Amino acid sequence: MPAIPLELVILMLAYLRDDKQSLSHCSLVCRGWAPLAYQHRFRTITVHKPRLGLSIAMDRLLTRLRTAPHLKSYIQELVLTANELAPAPHQTLHAGSLRTLLLELNELRILRISHANLVLPSPTIPPALLCTVRKLSVLSLAA
């Protein structure tokens, strides 16, 4: 059976970049397609679980990354969004938990946090928190 040219596979996966389910299916077609599909599938990870709360959702993401460490290198953008109408504990994001997650994401370039009560050890964002991500170029904090 003739192989599909790599250029066509790359174009097809780029076209599907916003369709997470299709990218997941494409990653199962053959071993050669998996890393190409993962580049799009895991480029941006959004953590938004209104019923669980932000801390629990982050813990689940961390667990998944530790059981599938090969996925870490594909994550370039992390979006953490709390439900602004949820009770305060569901909106809480502790700096220590965030730092633990950020230590796992060596390729992270963009971090967006919105509607979260970021609990810091001091009134400012500690430099140690930001230094954990060397490639970070965009930090967005929104109320």
Measured CA distances, 101 to 36, 54, 143 (Å): 24, 12, 21
CA torsion 17→93→120→108, rounded to 10°? -20
**What gap in Å lies between CA 74 and CA 53, rounded to an integer?**
25
Q: pLDDT tens digits, residue range 80-138?
A: 887 665 555 556 777 777 888 888 898 999 999 887 766 666 555 666 666 677 788 88
End-to-end alpha carbon distance in the chain: 55
For the whole model, what pTM was predicted? Answer: 0.81
Beta bridge partner(s), residue 119: 94
**What gap in Å lies between CA 105 and CA 103, rounded to an integer?**
6
pLDDT of 73 higher than 80: yes
55 vs 70, higher pLDDT: 70
